[in-house]
Amino acid sequence: MLDLLKERMGVRLNSRQYGEILSYISAFTRNTSATVSRALIWWELEYSLTEEILNALVEIGTLQKYHAVRCPECSLLLEKVEYTPDYEDESYCYGCDSDITIDASDIDVIYSLADATDKEALK
56/50 Cα distance (integer angstroms): 10
What's the pLDDT at 50? Answer: 95
Average pLDDT over residues 95-118: 87
Q: Quick check: 112 and 34 in contact, CB under 8 A?
A: yes
What's the pLDDT at 88? Answer: 84
Q: Quick check: 9 and 53 in contact, CB under 8 A?
A: yes
Instruction: Quick: pLDDT tens for 44-90.
Output: 999 999 999 999 999 999 999 988 888 999 989 888 887 777 888 88
Q: Please indicate, yes or no, whether the overall pTM of this predicted structure exceeds 0.75.
A: yes
Domains and CATH numbers, the chain: 2-116 (1.10.10)
Residues 6+ away with beta carbon under 8 Å from 118:
none
What's the pLDDT at 122? Answer: 65
DSSP 8-state code for residue 71: -
What's the pLDDT at 81? Answer: 80
